[in-house]
Amino acid sequence: MRSGSPFLARAPEGALRHCKTLLAAALLATACAAPGAVQGTAGTHCAPRADKLVELGHPFDAETIYWPTESTGFRLTPLHHGLTPAGFFYAANAYAAPEHGGTHLDAPIHFAVGKATTDAIPLARLIAPAVVIEMVEQAGRDRDALLSAQDIERFEQVHGALPAGVIVLVRTDWSARWPDKLAYLGSARAGDASDLHFPGISADAARMLVARRVGAVGIDTASIDHGPSRDFWAHRILMEANIPAFENLAQLDKLPARGALLLALPMNIRGGSGGPLRAVAILP
pLDDT tens track for 50-85: 999 999 999 999 999 999 999 999 999 999 999 999
User: How confident is residue 48, by pLDDT bands cut at 50, 70 and 90?
Assistant: confident
- Residue of higher predicted confidence among 88 and 6: 88
pLDDT average, residue stretch 200-220: 98
User: How confident is residue 134, by pLDDT bands cut at 50, 70 and 90?
Assistant: very high
Q: Is 60 exceeded by the pLDDT of residue 237?
A: yes
For residue 207, the domain's CATH number is 3.50.30.50
3-state secondary structure 86-150: CCCEEEEEEEECCCCECCEEECHHHCCCCCCCHHHCCHHHCEEEEEEEECHHHHHHCCCCEECHH
The number of folded domains in the chain is 1
Asked if residue 43 belongs to a domain, the reply is: no
Asked if residue 9 belongs to a domain, the reply is: no
Please name the residues in contact with 214: beta carbons below 8 A apart, sequence gap of 6 or more.
162, 164, 165, 166, 167, 168, 243
Q: Is 50 exceeded by the pLDDT of residue 250?
A: yes
- Residue of higher predicted confidence among 165 and 23: 165
pLDDT average, residue stretch 148-156: 98
Asked if residue 195 belongs to a domain, the reply is: yes
Asked if residue 194 belongs to a domain, the reply is: yes
Q: Is 50 exceeded by the pLDDT of residue 10?
A: no
| pLDDT confidence of residue 141 | 98
Q: What count of other Cβ atoms lies within 10 Å of the Cβ of residue 23? A: 20
User: How confident is residue 47, by pLDDT bands cut at 50, 70 and 90?
Assistant: confident
| pLDDT confidence of residue 223 | 98
- Residue of higher predicted confidence among 16 and 146: 146
Q: Kindly report the pTM of this predicted structure.
A: 0.87
pLDDT average, residue stretch 208-223: 98
Give the residue numbers annotated as catalytic, written as ranges: 110
Percent of the chain with pLDDT over 90: 83
DSSP letters along 213-252, please? Answer: T-SEEEESSS-SS-TT-SS-HHHHHHHHTT--EEES---G
Q: H or E segment at 208?
A: helix 203-211
Collapsed DSSP state (helix, strand, coil) of residue 78: strand
pLDDT average, residue stretch 224-236: 98
For residue 118, give its domain range.
53-66+99-282
Asked if residue 7 belongs to a domain, the reply is: no
Asked if residue 153 belongs to a domain, the reply is: yes
Q: Which of 3-7, 162-166, 192-196 has the lowest mean pLDDT?
A: 3-7
Q: Is 70 exceeded by the pLDDT of residue 2?
A: no
Asked if residue 113 belongs to a domain, the reply is: yes
Asked if residue 185 belongs to a domain, the reply is: yes
Please state, rounded to an integer, the average pLDDT across all residues of the chain: 90
